[in-house]
Amino acid sequence: MDSLQLQNIRKSFGSMDVLKGVELDVTRGEFVVFVGPSGCGKSTLLRIIAGLDDQTSGDVRIDGKLMNGVPPAKRGIAMVFQSYALYPHLTVAKNMALALTQEGVAKAEIDTRVATAAAMLRLEALLDRRPSELSGGQRQRVAIGRAIVRQPSLFLFDEPLSNLDAALRGGTRVEIAKLHRQLGATMVYVTHDQIEAMTLADKIVVMNGGVVEQVGRPLELYNRPATKFVAGFIGSPA
């Protein structure tokens, strides 16, 4: 069964057609990276998958179940944004635990999950700090930890590294790749950074103007771009 299925997803804002019939099948455990120029509809698509926005038409299925109209909290997903959106008055541990507390998960279970996520992300020593006492990279690791503790089957990342400086970006990228191997979860990741796409993806989806231009393994796209646009974007000399 596919982890995520998008069928003919369309989205219009007023008279502007932003998504024009996006189709995609994502296998369980796959790391899929969406790339494409600014404004091509990547974030809109992620928000629709997450249930934060409704498609104008088309179907979203997660683990085979039709998600149209299902609220975000009931989709079995967790999303990591470019801005960390941590609560400044809460400690790292409380920030990570908050969603679970709200869902009524037992305290002992919450503590175990937070400790496990903190170990994965090397945050153990920082659990009692507040966000203002952390570096940008540490804050983004907390935001990722907050997603992990929910044990979603599907992670959605929207340009999670774009606010980090180059040095931190490389390290955090490696961290995300490691997490993917450890968790075996499906990851859908948006970036405009070709290096992130080439190194993280099992499968790259190149979007342009609200449609999927090409889908393939990184080297397939690099060696056999289907259009001039893909060739230019992935940087193949062909």
Which residues contact ligand ADP by CB under 6 A?
13, 18, 36, 38-44
Question: Minimum distance from CB of 15 to ligand ADP (Å)?
Answer: 11
Pick the closest to residue 96 from 75, 107, 110 (CA basis).
Answer: 110
Chosen from ligand ADP, Mg ion, none, partner binding at 102 (C-beta under 5 to 8 Å by type): none
Dihedral sign (CA 147, 234, 195, 133): negative
**Residue ranges in contact with Mg ion by CB under 5 A:** 42-43
Q: Which is nearer to ligand ADP, 158 or 175 (CB)?
A: 158
Q: What count of other Cβ atoms lies within 10 Å of the Cβ of residue 8?
A: 13
Q: How far is 238 from 231, CA to CA, in rounded Å? A: 7
Question: Minimum distance from CB of 41 to Mg ion (Å)?
Answer: 8
Q: Which is nearer to ligand ADP, 55 or 138 (CB)?
A: 55
Residues 6+ apart with CB under 8 A from 125: none
Q: Extract the tokens encoding 157.
A: 């990342």
Question: Minimum distance from CB of 37 to Mg ion (Å)?
Answer: 10
Residue 23 has φ and ψ, to the nearest 5°, of: -120, 135
Question: Minimum distance from CB of 106 to ligand ADP (Å)?
Answer: 38
Chosen from ligand ADP, Mg ion, none, partner binding at 41 (C-beta under 5 to 8 Å by type): ligand ADP
